[in-house]
Structure 1
Amino acid sequence: IKGRNETRVVRDIGQLIVPPAEILAIRGATHLQLLRETTNASWNNAIPFLGPRPQPDYSLGFKREAFTRERRKTLQPFIGKDLDDCSRFAATYDMYFPFLTCEVKCGASALDIADRQNAHSRTVLLQGLFMLYKIVGREKELHGKINGFSISHSDVDVRIWGHLIIIEGNNPHYYREPIAKFDITKTAQADNRWTAWVVVMNILDLWVPDHFKDICSIIDEVSDSFKTLSDADLSQSGVSQPPDEEDHEQVITNNEHVGQPITPETTIQSHSSSPKRNKRQ
């Protein structure tokens, strides 16, 4: 596949770099049945930075059905009732809280672009996670803790990043930390062909269950928090009113757009960098 385009790289080795969670679930990995994948899908339900919404080559989050009816009801004011409503918790109408994104590029220098695209995608959702925790006053728990991952790769090189929030005062700042960078070409000195697979499987098997448990714990506290939040607090959080007990399926649209920092460096801080290129169909 040397010299081939992104589509060919994705087709031939994409699932050898990032294990396909939904296929693994079908084959018996029942603990992965709560996950939803997207491939080259625009995050039409996410609230972006300045510029277009993220459109990762691959992303992984939680199914809507992974959450109980009561938890979905609690999230309703944030999610919206229509397929095109915007939210800080959903990337697409059926994928909530994405925690892994992957971008594929051809050529080592192009991986810098992939890194920036991944940083943008991850920070969009880290903002939502911070907002969720802040509603119940537990945002400090996110400080310095990796709450998402991204992978940038070509036909030869792989970069794996962890994404986290650093809180200074009351202000969140979004960072990424390198987990691994390597060449997947087998040599006499090393064989890293399966390194990315092993890392992602460890994320799926060991990290995801605890991450999902933490999110559910926060959601369980949100409903009670609505009773004590002032109207100003709700407005700042992007919620116009508490959940409506009358209708389990009715929600309030949130169309708030907030510009947030993104740079090619480790710290994601100021204005949006280069817009994401149009995906080839």
Structure 2
Amino acid sequence: MHDSPLGLDAASQDLCQSLRQRTPPVPSDTLFRGDIFETTCAKLHGKNEPRVVQDIGRLIVPSAETLATFGEKHLDILVESVDEEWNNSIPLTHPHPQPDYSVGFKRGAFTEDQLAKLAPYIGNFFAGDQPYFMATYYMYFPFLTCEVKSSSTVLDVADRQNAHSMTLAVRGIVHLFHLAKREHEVNRQILGFSVSHDHRSVRIYGHYPEIVGQDTKYYRHLIHDFSFTPPNGENKWIAYRFTRNVYDTWVAEHFKRICSAIDQIPSDPSELNLDVSSPLVTTGISQQAGSMEGTEAPSGAYQVRTDYLEE
């Protein structure tokens, strides 16, 4: 839950800066409207988490699917979940993550050839197999999570929940690029984002791996930490605009990179010369409860499901 000793690479540092600088339009007639903003904040004081989510949740982190419905067709490749357990992902610790809001890629975003390439590494997820590449049964490669609390005193809990979720998400990308023998391309690169907020404060993080030889550890980078409350409310749209910039400028390149790696993984896992005796894909990630850092096992420890290749 901190930066790595080496920190982000230069490209990701520039990315953070650019995502903060661009100012896309914001909705006009909302509870954040200038003449009622102070009233909105006052009414949320002392209220519980569902009320915070109901009133301002999508004004902090906009809905990708709603934006797509209203015409942002480049977001049609995305799918979101609300308060759903990530029970289709190999866990880091228990219980599984259950973000208040998360976004990833839907199955229909990928071509049939790409889905066929992924199939040997995913298994029968409807029957309970837990691959690295999925969060829920309909969400592939999640890249954004949001946790909401009703008090700033428990925002640290939201941070830990987000770190748990995004460690699984980043781990999936690292595993994919390992299979494609291109893991160096994602070293110290931001591969996902998280937002923690309550009725007055927001924290935005980027999450990334650091790969050194056979070891991979997972870290987060604080991008912005701010209050959006009166007297002037000048920060109220920062998180919304940042998230829109992630959707509008980062997602396309991230998706292109994922598809490129999928295209290069072997269709037959036996070509990897790995142990295929286990029905589950595993990279030996640390299962120690409470740990937000994991260490990848040497490549010979990878185990890949193959018993359904003829299905």
Deviation at 1:262, TM superposition (A): 7.8
The match for 1:58 is 101
Bigger mean CA deviation after superposition, 177-186 or 218-227: 218-227
1:35–1:62: 8 Å Cα contact kept in structure 2?
Answer: yes
Q: Which blocks of at least 5 consecutive residues in structure 2 are unaligned?
A: 1-43, 296-311
SS in structure 2 at match of 1:53: coil
Can you list the C-alpha shifts for 1:201-228, whole angstroms capped at 9, x where unaligned? Answer: 0000000000000000000001368464
Give the deviation of 1:261 after TM superposition: 6.5
Relative to structure 1, is the Cα distance of residues 143 and 182 closer, same or farther in structure 2, using a 3 angstrom cutoff? Answer: same
- Classify the secondary structure of the residue corresponding to 1:91: coil
CA contact (8 A) 1:260 1:269 kept: no
1:20-55 CA deviation, whole Å, 9 max, x = no partner? 110110110000000000000001101111211100
- Asked whether 1:48 is paired with 2:91, we answer yes
Alignment correspondent of 1:274: none
Counterpart-to-counterpart distance in 2, 1:99 and 1:14: 18
2:56 alignment partner, one of 5, 13, 26: 13
Equivalents in 1 of 2:287, 2:231: separation in Å?
Answer: 42
Question: What is the Cα-based RMSD across aligned positions, in Å?
Answer: 2.1
The equivalent of 1:179 in structure 2 is 223
Identity of aligned residues (%): 46
Show CA shifts across 1:211-250 (max 9, x none): 0000000000013684641133x66xxxx6xxxxxxxxxx
- The amino acid of 1:57's aligned partner reads D
With normalisation by structure 1, the TM-score equals: 0.83
1:67 to 84, 103, 110: 110
In the alignment, which residue of structure 2 is the partner of 1:109? 153
Paired AA for residue 293 in structure 2? Q
Q: Deviations over 1:76-128 (max 9, x none)?
A: 12222242321100001110000000000121120101001100000012111
**Structure 1 residues 262 and 159: alpha-carbon distance in aligned structure 2, compared to 1, 3 A threshold:** farther
Matched AA of 1:254? L
- Other-structure match for 2:141: 97
Q: Identify the structure with the greater strand proportion.
A: 1
**Equivalent residue, structure 1, for 2:11:** none
Equivalent residues in 2 for 1:79-98 (5 A)?
Answer: 79-83=122-126, 84-98=128-142
AA at the equivalent of 1:66? A
For residue 151 of structure 2, give the secondary structure of its aligned residue in structure 1: coil
Q: 1:259 aligns with which of 250, 264, 286?
A: 286
Tell me the residue number matched to 1:250: none
Letter in 2 for 1:142: V
| SS class of match (1:146) | coil
Quick one: structure 1 residues 227 and 86, their matched pair in 2 at CA, closer, same or farther if it must change by over 3 Å?
closer
Secondary structure, counterpart of 1:37 in structure 2: strand
Aligned match for 1:32, one of 75, 81, 91: 75
Matches within 5 A, 1:170-209: 170-188=214-232, 191-209=234-252
Matches within 5 A, 1:162-241: 162-188=206-232, 191-223=234-266, 226=269, 228-232=271-275
C-alpha offsets along residues 116-170 of structure 1, whole Å, 9 cap, x if unaligned?
1100000012111111101121101111110000000001000000000111222
- Deviation of residue 254 (structure 1)? 2.4
The 1:260/1:146 distance shift into structure 2, 3 A limit, reads farther
Amino acid at match of 2:190: I
Cα distance in 1 for partners of 2:273, 2:101 equals: 39
Contact kept, 8 Å, 1:104 with 1:114, in 2: the verdict is yes
| Counterpart position of 2:293 | 269
Per mean C-alpha deviation after superposition, the further-off stretch among 107-116 and 213-222 is: 107-116
Report deviation, 1:269: 2.4
What whole-Å deviation, never above 9, does each CA across 1:50-74 have from its counterpart, x for those lacking one?
A: 2111000000000011001110111
